[in-house]
Amino acid sequence: MKEMDSEELKRMNGKDGNPVYVAFGGKVYDVTESDLWKTGVHMARHASGQDLTKEIGAAPHGPEVLDKFSQVGTLREVPPSARAKALPSFLQKAFDRYPLLRRQPHPMTVHFPIAFLMATPLFVILYALTRNSSFETTGFYMLCLGLLGSAAAMATGFFAWWVNYGAVPTTYVKYKIALSIILFLLASILVIWRFVDPVILTQSGSLWWIYAILIFSLVPLVSLLGHLGGKMVFPG
């Protein structure tokens, strides 16, 4: 089996009649027949002709997707993973044994604040239409759960950023961090306000409209965060 260096691998990018090769874990694979690699670039992010060992660790799938392609060689002088250097040995061993841990639990926990915080304005609307106080109370519970979910999503998000991206402050990451902090602070303010003044909506005091505007501002914030997260996972 042929041994390649990084310069030779770089030429295998689908251009000038060359095949499309990628490397992972010191092995070189021919992905020319894959529709997702036919342009030489995968998901508008990953270029062929490169060692993708680090990138696959941050992808929504594992290296098993390469098993259906032929191994055509090995990569000479594979550089040690920067991630392996940065992570404590016990954590690296856990990831080696359970690769799923590298991509979880952030993709799971992030869905909870999305669901709860998007539901909060819905119950406020139901209360406004029916004047049934149980809808307003349910909306408050959704808000509390959304706040807790936001804390969990932020914690796991920072963990995933460190593990999979080496804590590199990319543009999308900067936006997500800023918006996540704003969302968490806004949800905290609303929870505290509703706890201190439990009749802010039900008795329509002078500030109810400010509270309502803040409630509905959760929708664009959550939507934008979800959009940025999607762009990071599936760019294009």
Please name the residue that has the structure tokens 């392609």. Answer: 69
Tokens of 50: 């490169």
Does residue 74 sit in helix, strand or coil? strand
Per-residue pLDDT of the chain (236 residues; tens, 9 = 90+): 678 777 787 888 778 778 888 888 778 888 888 777 666 666 545 677 777 776 665 555 556 677 778 888 888 765 544 344 456 777 777 777 776 666 667 888 999 999 999 999 999 999 999 999 999 999 999 999 999 999 999 998 888 887 766 677 777 788 999 999 999 999 999 999 999 999 888 876 678 899 999 999 999 999 999 888 877 665 44
Residues in the chain: 236
**Residue 77's closest CA among 143, 14, 6, 162?**
6
Task: State the pTM of this model.
Answer: 0.66
Residues 6+ apart with CB under 8 A from 144: 191
Q: Which CATH architecture has domain 2-85?
A: Roll (3.10)
Does residue 209 sit in helix, strand or coil? helix
